[in-house]
Every structure is written in structure tokens, then in C-alpha cells.
Structure 1
Amino acid sequence: MKTGIILLAAGSSSRLGRPKQLVELGGKTLIQNAIEESKKSQADSIVIVLGWNPDFIQTGFESKNVPVVINKSWEEGMASSMQTGLKFLIENIQTDQVILMLCDQPFVDAVLLNRLIEEKESSGKGIIACSYSGTIGVPALFDASYFNELLSLKGSEGAKKVIFNHSEDVLALDFPEGAIDLDTEDDLKKIKNLK
């Protein structure tokens, strides 16, 4: 099974007031860290989806080494960015399953990404999603049978809609650190104390 990772990094970080993709933790930007963890995992390919100010965001990582696609409709919401990445993987990699991940979940690492892939293989479920703060979400792995449904999402609809539509085919992976993302300067301060 070929696994592709779609790293979503298209937003403008309006709540933070500066691009979170370029926030540094432990000497690396969040986006560079997400790329490195993806590359260390068992996944076969990765595509980075940018939107807001892509040239500036590309200063935060080694963009020569990874495919980058630009979602010109990024302001429409998460669905269009995810679809931009998914279309790229379908057309160029012929991938069998995809992992959706965000660059602002600093505790997502290769170990977690490998667990998603391994649980998919051993459980036979079509969706493996992370569970935190009383919900289920990304990072999440979807097999090819869900690609059309992911491609039909609109606007701010995220992959969660597909996850909740098919709860009988979902395995939830406990990942409490998934609740930690970086939307405000306070979040950043907290994370610097944890890392």
C-alpha cells in the first residue's frame, strides 16, 4: 500500500498575527519539523500545500527536496487545500491511502505517523484518526475508497465530516497531544515550556 502525506500549510495564521508555519521550536520552523517527521516515517511520499504568501513560507523549509503545490483558493477553507494535495498525489503518485496532517501540531512525529499506517494494516478499517479533547481528527489516514468523498467537501468542511459520516469504519488512535496547536502567542509560550 502506497501512503502519501498531505501537509496542510496554506493558512494565513490570522489569530496568531504571524505565519505559524515559520514559528521556530527547538531551532526548526514548524513546517520544516513536520516535513522531517514525514520523511522519517514509513510513508512513500509527501506533498506540501501552501496558499497564503507561498514564496515567504518557502523560506522556512528546504523546498527543493519536497513537492509543493499552491492552493490559489486557500481562503475558501480547509477543503480546497486538502483537495489540492490529494489531486496532486492521485495524479502523480497513484497513492493507495493518504494521511492528512497540519504543520501546527508540534507533537506529531514519525512514530505517530507510522502508528496510523500500522493500525490501518492490522485493523482493516478504512479510516484511522487521532483522538484528543473529546473529538477525533487529524492526523488521520484515509484509504482510497474515501478519496471521492474528500474531493466533494466544500469550503470550511474538513476531513472530520468524512470521519463522522463513517464512524463504523474508523479506528481512533489515542493522541492527547493532538489538542495542542498554535493559534495564539499564549499557546506558543505554553508549548515552549513543554518542548
Structure 2
Amino acid sequence: MTIAAILLAAGASRRMGSPKPLLAWGDGTLIEWEYAQLMASVVDDIVIVCGSRMEAVRCVLGEAERHIVFNAGWPQGRATSLAAGARALIRPGRAVPEAIVIQNVDQPTRPSIIDRLVEARREGDHDIVQPRYEDEAGAEHGGHPVVLAGRLLPELARVTEATLGLRAVVERHPLVRVPFDRDPAVWIDLDTPDLLPDARRVFGIRE
């Protein structure tokens, strides 16, 4: 069955100071690299949700622009982009996915992480699977990306900021966490420019 991914790349990137999808990353941009990571994983259907700077993102993606869905409601928050991506996956002619990977453009990941999460979800037919990691104090946290069963797609298509978006869906269903204690890729979050050098090192990206 199909493994789908929703790549969320619609925000204004105010704290970063420049559009996150267009950040220099290796030989190209962050969104090009993330698209390539998804393509190198078990994912075989991708929706890229854009809002702010959509035309610039379209230009760098080249042939991959066919995966873009525009979210006119992006200023209202990330939940609107998640819903837009989910609705795109429900359209006629698209196979109902076995699982959906929720990937934020500011949280880069590896194909191996995606593949392990998808396999863990499949083995137990879990509703939701997420990486688990421990901080320096030993406290447990949930990482990214999150993988959901395809049967939850209608719920994703209805999320709003008022209903707490993905968080509310996660709270309604059993969640299984898969340990990734030694891989910082599951907790990296590119909010501000000072975080970029360390993140690039984690993924072996040249400055």
C-alpha cells in the first residue's frame, strides 16, 4: 500500500529571518534536500504544502513542483496547512495510504528514521508512531517526524487551530514511541539562524 508524506512548508519563518524552505543546505535549498530524503525513503506519495513565498519554492523544486498544494489560509497557522495536505491526499485518483508521514520543513530527518517509524507502525498496526529520545537529564520526549495510520486521514483533513491541530488528533489515539536516543536528527528544530551550524553538522551538510 501507499506510504504518503505531507511536507509542511507554508510558514513565514519570522524567527529565522528568511524563508526556511529556501535556506542554503548542501548544494541546494533545505526543501530540495528534504524532498530528496522523502524520495529516498519508503514514501511513495508526497504533498508539499506551501503558502508564503510559494513561487520561489516552486522555482527551486523544478519537476517536483507537481507535488505542491497551495494553502491560502497559511497565515492562520500550521493546522490549516496540515488539513490542506490531508485533503489533497483524499482527492479522487489517489490511493488511500497505509500511513502518513508528517514532516515539517524546519525539522529535517533521515530516510532511515522514516523507514523505521513506518515499519514500527505497520508491525503493530498502531494509530500513531513517534520517535522517542531522552534529554541530558534523562527526561523522555517525543521527537519527529510523526507517522499516522492512513485511517486517520479524515481526521487530519478536519483539523483547525481552534481544535489544536495535530496535537488533538494525537491525544485522541494511542501513541507508540520508538527509541532513537542517540540520533539528534529526531529533535532538531530550525527556529533561529544560530541553530543552523549544528544542524548542518548532524546531517553532514557543508557550510
Q: Above 0.5 in TM-score?
A: yes
Unaligned 5+ segments in structure 1 are none
1:99 to 98, 101, 122: 101
RMSD between superposed Cα atoms in Å: 2.0
Counterpart position of 2:84: 84
Q: Secondary structure at the match of 1:34?
A: helix
Q: Deviations over 1:104-141 (max 9, x none)?
A: 223x1111111121111112211112234643253111
Counterpart position of 1:148: 154
Counterpart position of 2:29: 29
Partner amino acid, structure 1, of 2:39: K
Identity %: 30
- Contact map agreement 1:127 1:163 (CA 8 A) in 2: yes
- Contact map agreement 2:107 2:144 (CA 8 A) in 1: no
Partner amino acid, structure 1, of 2:32: Q
C-alpha spacing 1:137/1:159, structure 2 compared with 1 (3 Å): farther
Whole-angstrom distance in 2 between the partners of 1:29 and 1:174 = 29
- Contact map agreement 1:37 1:109 (CA 8 A) in 2: yes
Partner amino acid, structure 2, of 1:115: R
Q: Is the helix fraction higher in 1 or 2?
A: 1
Counterpart position of 2:192: 184
Partner amino acid, structure 2, of 1:184: T
> Displacement, 1:58?
2.0
> Displacement, 1:164?
2.4
Whole-angstrom distance in 2 between the partners of 1:83 and 1:59 = 24
Aligned residues: 192
Q: Is the aligned partner of 1:172 residue 2:174?
A: no
Alignment of 1:21-170 (within 5 A): 21-64=21-64, 66-91=66-91, 92-96=93-97, 97-106=99-108, 108-132=109-133, 134-155=140-161, 157-166=164-173, 169-170=174-175
TM-score, scaled to structure 1: 0.88
Q: Deviations over 1:128-171 (max 9, x none)?
A: 122346432531111133223222321273323222222xx221
Q: Secondary structure at the match of 2:14?
A: coil
C-alpha spacing 1:42/1:128, structure 2 compared with 1 (3 Å): same
> Displacement, 1:181?
1.5
Unaligned 5+ segments in structure 2 are none
Greater shift in the superposed pair: 114-123 or 127-136 = 127-136
